[in-house]
Structure 1
């Protein structure tokens, strides 16, 4: 009944997309709440109860439990993480192997290569496995799981309503944006994220933006109902980060920051996929790999803890790490340059071990921590050298968060907006845009999301769209040969004369004209063959008997997409071209191979223009 109602709605008049986007947003918001609650339950009953450790979170998080600092046992963290990896791996590889990893790549792959299809069990497996991975201390983020959860429901809704693949892809992307916009309290960024993250070059999925914006707004609002009273609109990292852009000379220092961010970004991507390849070659069952990866990540965290003898910040290399990032954003000097760089470097390793081994979690959250710590460290260095020029080194941490992910994920615009919404202000918009743009340009050879395609032109989802776009830009008059001499057959010409005409020419299709020269029908050489072996018909039949009067034709002003549809409809290789006003006046014919050749030429011109721009 719902499918009948929705499919009966008109796109533009009744707001069908608004209705569907609202449904996707509601589910994404509820999914975000469930995911957060499950994660906190896992932390409370595993990490805290067994190891006495509760990872500090960002200022704006809603904590269900108040944890006292008692009975801390560092090495028990390793045991908890290993068991968590084992359970998560069993869930994923038993019920939904495609739910492994960071999730966003799987949603991108479904958009481009699977006609927007994601199995219905994915959101349930992904929610539970990610909550276990992150809740037991695995180094990862929340955006990947919640993006895949929202995308899965969007895909499922499209399947239930029997929507075409184009609409199913739009709902998938809208769900992805809604989930991200909800859990990070960044609805505008969620909409842009859904449109931008699909491509590695500066391209957007424009038709996704409005449905994703609607879904993101609803998801954000629904998620806000779970937050404590008065904190619904509080940014994730609080309202106290009121930094502003300083002297224009700072842009040179921010350019230096961009270079460091790209260097760490390349290391992050190389390490992430290097460890992924390494684990894929290990001669152990896949279900055990996440446990091994989580155990190694936990061991690195504990070693760093004993080396620095500081629980407060060294264990930021585990779990989300948002607590230490919060400190870097408000008082970077409390952490210090050496520890900030150490956290950034080790976080790359722990995240790679957790996620690349098959664990379930996102890569956006760790990117924020890595970029923020690198930015804070660079800011402290510049503050020590030029304290008057750089009075607030923490501003470099905020800019570093955006620049690092923009370079790694090739999504500068959504990242700029997301970090601004997460930190509660646009005072650093100028340096954030500057660094994100530089990092995006310098980091183009490497990408964190392997399933991204460069542009819409390379997306399998849009191959047909580009065929239409190119063909609609070319008119029939630009292609068909107007000076081609055609053999016209008078309607009363006997069949015997027709056979001789056919033998004298290579022409395959023959227009039939009346006494005034107007086309009244057409036939092909194949149509004549059926009459050749009947001597009675040979003497009696004429052109009117052989021809078909239902002529499918085009005009010079029609585009080639219209022509291609005509070719497909009648399954012939040549179409008559008639005058736009006088449909009986024959101007020539258009051949199917001419349409394809024109398309190929235009496509080569486009590719050449793109290469010249690069």
Structure 2
């Protein structure tokens, strides 16, 4: 090698590199992930444009109300000239929006109801990565109408389902296997979230983490989701003005940083508060869902009823609070008031922040649980952020030297609340950091998110999550292999000293009389030295039984199969199972690892399955003990 010229040496190493990288496989996933990312980015743009169009020509022009937005939001309409502000017309607009959304969803795609992310999770685990092609179209318009007319919902659910739907459609179009369809579905989900929230890293982690409730990861999803998320973020960024290309959703001015380690004490109190708020959110959300499911009215009318009630509550709070516009944050996205909680929480005040957090739970539940189309991540940010801001203001009054910036509690509260509700701490930590433009609060955010995740484990916002990959129907075959590869033939088979061996020279007549006296089904054939040379079964002998002239002429060498498929004690049970399925038999010879002619015993197919079941029960019992 050292005698080669440098050019040849480099070429040889490049060839080895290209071979090792398996460009056929990695190139396929790169190409498909780019396609998914492009469509997710374009879908995010379409969703935003349609939503703002609905907002402008409904709430703004008809009711005279323009909801405040985050500083990094790109608005395509000038809302400086609105119609005359009429609070009760907001209720009318919301009710009409709920009616239109309900008609769209229940007429064309009932799967598009609710917050969307659950439907994508369900398709991943239980539907082999299949989502109907009409879903993204219906979901886009229904969610844009719901949110644009003032419904309390977020954008992550719709865009996650839009991206996931295209990933599933692409997999179906290319006739990919179910595993590949699931990966593309998850990649589309992550790309949509990464694009709309301008958080590509969080989008990739979100796709891998949101599928499970017990802090498990879908590792095979991360690289395709990261690629798709980068492309989706880039495509979506091209739609934004140049000055917003690198602007986080909530701006670059949130330069808070962790201070004294003693701050972790009030942050621990914050974790308890947002964990309790998260439990209330989940209970109210699904409680209202169950109530609407029993409501004796057509499904198409339920979103209108829910939106109308949410509007009445929102406008009622506005009137109760002296017509303070910030109180209307319980409707629409609520990002404007959240932005103020992140930058100037004192101007909002403790009572209003807590009130918005509590009432937002109710209006979101009425909007989405009634069948309206929208996400739950956005409202979770508002609920967690307002709760955190209020707790921060309280601690600033009690301990001003330790808590100089209560707004930092709002940021940490955003992450902690959703991490506890959605059981997705890692992606939430990164997403909130990317949305707020910095990692200065990474330590308290990790601390609060971890605590809320632990405290909130018995409750989950996404009902279709499964605890871990072990419980996912999508991985039943994978875990069969994983478990079997952890058990060896030596752990299962028994040396059969009573095993009937057939000498190679034994006549067929003697064989027939021998097998008639035993319940053994497979018979190893050995030579004069006692080494295994073949094997046959009762079925192999049966074809000779009708011609007695052969009984004295044929011997074991004529009946046996000389191609012996065997295993050794050092082989795992997955190897044994492949042998069983390859030659369609129920029993295999076990031979010495150093001498394949030395027969040690046999192993049966039912013994392999019994060992698998025993080990699976051990895993489940260990998991239950750990939870207790």
1:482 pairs with one of 469, 483, 495: 495
Shift, 1:12, TM fit: 6.2
The answer as to 2:260 corresponding to 1:247 is yes
Write the deviation string for residues 326-381 of structure 1: whole angstroms up to 9, x where unpaired: 00000011111111111111111110010001000000000000000000011111
Shift, 1:385, TM fit: 1.5
For residues 492-531 of structure 1, the aligned pairs below 5 Å read: 492-531=505-544
The answer as to 2:612 corresponding to 1:599 is yes
2:38 pairs with one of 26, 31, 39: 26
Write the deviation string for residues 429-482 of structure 1: whole angstroms up to 9, x where unpaired: 111111111111111111100000111111111111111001011222332223
2:406 pairs with one of 364, 374, 393: 393
Q: Which residue of 2 aligns with 1:171?
A: 184
Distance 1:59 1:477 in 2: 66
The answer as to 2:452 corresponding to 1:435 is no
Shift, 1:542, TM fit: 1.8
For residues 19-418 of structure 1, the aligned pairs below 5 Å read: 19-68=31-80, 70-418=83-431
For residues 529-608 of structure 1, the aligned pairs below 5 Å read: 529-580=542-593, 582-608=595-621
Count, aligned residues: 606
Contact 1:17 1:211 in 2 (8 A): yes
Distance 1:266 1:14 in 2: 42
Contact 1:52 1:72 in 2 (8 A): yes
Distance 1:514 1:473 in 2: 35
| Higher mean displacement: 521-530 or 493-502 | 521-530
Write the deviation string for residues 497-519 of structure 1: whole angstroms up to 9, x where unpaired: 11222133332100122344333
Shift, 1:607, TM fit: 2.7
Q: Which residue of 2 aligns with 1:4?
A: none
The answer as to 2:476 corresponding to 1:463 is yes
Shift, 1:311, TM fit: 4.3
SS in 2 for 1:249: helix
Contact 1:11 1:17 in 2 (8 A): no
SS in 2 for 1:140: coil
Distance 2:307 2:532 in 1: 77
Q: Which residue of 2 aligns with 1:3?
A: none
Contact 1:101 1:359 in 2 (8 A): yes
Distance 1:185 1:387 in 2: 34
Shift, 1:527, TM fit: 2.4
Shift, 1:545, TM fit: 2.6
Distance 1:271 1:13 in 2: 46
The alignment's TM-score, normalised by the length of structure 1, stands at: 0.96
Distance 2:70 2:531 in 1: 79
Contact 2:492 2:608 in 1 (8 A): yes
Distance 1:340 1:292 in 2: 27
SS in 2 for 1:246: coil
Contact 1:10 1:16 in 2 (8 A): no
Shift, 1:315, TM fit: 0.8
| Higher mean displacement: 65-74 or 300-309 | 65-74
| Higher mean displacement: 109-118 or 525-534 | 525-534
Shift, 1:11, TM fit: 6.2
Contact 2:72 2:248 in 1 (8 A): yes
Contact 2:271 2:448 in 1 (8 A): yes
In the superposition, relative to structure 1, how do residues 11 and 156 fare at CA in structure 2: closer, same or farther (>3 Å)?
farther
Shift, 1:582, TM fit: 4.2
SS in 1 for 2:589: strand
Contact 1:511 1:521 in 2 (8 A): yes
Shift, 1:571, TM fit: 2.3
| Higher mean displacement: 187-196 or 307-316 | 307-316
Distance 1:311 1:43 in 2: 21
The alignment's TM-score, normalised by the length of structure 2, stands at: 0.94
Distance 2:550 2:216 in 1: 63
Contact 1:577 1:587 in 2 (8 A): yes
Q: Which residue of 1 aligns with 2:464?
A: 451
In the superposition, relative to structure 1, how do residues 335 and 58 fare at CA in structure 2: closer, same or farther (>3 Å)?
same
SS in 2 for 1:492: coil
Distance 2:25 2:542 in 1: 53
Distance 2:400 2:325 in 1: 27
In the superposition, relative to structure 1, how do residues 402 and 426 fare at CA in structure 2: closer, same or farther (>3 Å)?
same
- RMSD of the alignment, in Å? 1.5
SS in 2 for 1:225: helix
